[in-house]
Structure 1
Amino acid sequence: MTQPMRTALTLVALGVLLVLAALWGWNAAMKPLPAKVDSAVCVDTDVAAGEKVYPQQVTVSVYNAGRREGLAGRTMQLLTDEGFAKGNAGNAASAKVSTIAIWTTTPKNPDVRLVASYFDHPKIERRDGPGAGVTVIVGDGFKTLAKGAGAARAASDATICSPPVT
């Protein structure tokens, strides 16, 4: 085979490789990115009777039922500063709460009692809350947290919503 023939064959082979690489690159670039995997805000955790529950084990969600802008976010920050895990936050404009309410289906659970200890006379209502964990609804009358308990002891076996272990 002559030198010009080898050069031409080499250029054709390299051209084919370039086209194949370009097609592969285009195909890879046009594929959708993998979806973000949402991790759970909290997971159900069993607590035995007599066991203590600490703020780090409790997920709290806060909703603003008042007209004060950012009240839920500020309240959430106060609770996370005390060690509680951050749940959901948002507005609950349709809720009729003047100061503070806790919505839960398990009012005697240690996580609910622990969260309630950080508020002055919260109204604990037996109902589903919109958020994960213990749902706190704050109204315009809410000012600041009370000196809460460091832990709450479970009076009986219970299930609480704790932050996932990562």
Structure 2
Amino acid sequence: MSGALRSALTLATLGLIVVVATLWGWSAFTEPFPEDEPVPICENATVAAGSEVRRDQVVVSVFNGSGRSGLAGATSAQLEERGFVAGDVGDSPQPAATTQIWSFDPTNPAVQLVKKQFKGAEVVPGDPIGVGIVVVVGEKFTSLRKKQVESVVAKSDASICKATGSE
């Protein structure tokens, strides 16, 4: 093989490598970034009778059932300061006079723990409009109880939406 032919084949091979590398690089450069799967804020977990349910395990969604602007957000922030995990915040689909906790299981330990944070809160049957325990603050709501309850003991086996990452 002559020197000129060998040089031509070497240049052609190098040119082909440059073209393939350019196409591969462009393909990788223009590919969209992978999207992270959103981590759920809580997961259903079973709590055995006699087990302790703490504030950091409970997700609370707060909705405003009053005419006062920002009441749900302020209440959610106060609960978060106490150690609860903040869920959804927004306006209630219906007005409320008093503080309501929407649950079909009033004996649930997470419901009982949240109820102990409020003065005069009542547990009423209601569809879950947010994650975790749903609280609707009404016209008569003024503040949380001064006494902070840190945990409750489950009286029977129950299912709660346990905050992701809590033990």
The one-letter amino acid paired with 1:90 is G
Q: Is residue 76 of structure 1 aligned with residue 79 of structure 2?
A: no
> Cα 1:13–1:125, aligned 2, differ >3 Å: closer, same or farther?
same
One-letter identity of the residue aligned with 1:79: L
Deviation of the 1:85 alpha carbon: 1.6
Stretches of structure 2 that go unaligned for 5 or more consecutive residues are none
What's the CA shift for 1:79?
0.8
Summarize the Cα distance change of 1:143–1:10 in structure 2 as closer, same or farther, 3 Å threshold: farther
For residues 15-38 of structure 1, the C-alpha deviation after alignment (integer angstroms, 9 at most, x for no partner) is: 222211121122223333323202
Root-mean-square deviation over aligned CA pairs: 2.1
Matched residue type, 1:81: E
TM-score, length basis structure 2: 0.85
Contact 1:114 1:148 (8 Å CA) reproduced: no
Deviates most, 130-139 or 45-54 = 45-54
Alpha-carbon shift at residue 7 of structure 1 (Å): 4.4
**Equivalent position of 1:44 in the other structure:** 44
Distance 1:161 1:35 in 2: 25
Compare 97-106 and 8-17 and name the one that shifted more: 8-17
Q: Determine the structure 2 residue equivalent to 1:117.
A: 116
Q: How does 1:10-159 map to 2 (within 5 A)?
A: 10-92=10-92, 94-146=93-145, 147-159=147-159
TM-score (norm 1): 0.85
Q: Return the offset for 1:141.
A: 3.8
Aligned equivalents of 2:40, 2:33: Cα separation in 1: 21
Q: CA deviation at 1:103?
A: 0.6
Number of matched pairs: 164
Q: CA deviation at 1:81?
A: 0.9
Per-residue deviation, 1:99: 4.1
Question: CA offset at residue 115 of structure 1?
Answer: 0.3
Shift of 1:78: 0.9
Q: Which runs of 5+ in 1 are unaligned?
A: none
Once residues 154 and 32 of structure 2 are traced to their aligned partners in structure 1, the CA distance between those partners, rounded to angstroms, is 48
Q: Distance in 2 between matches of 1:162 and 1:13?
A: 61
Flag the 1:71–1:13 CA change in 2: closer, same or farther, 3 A. farther
Deviation at 1:6, TM superposition (A): 4.6
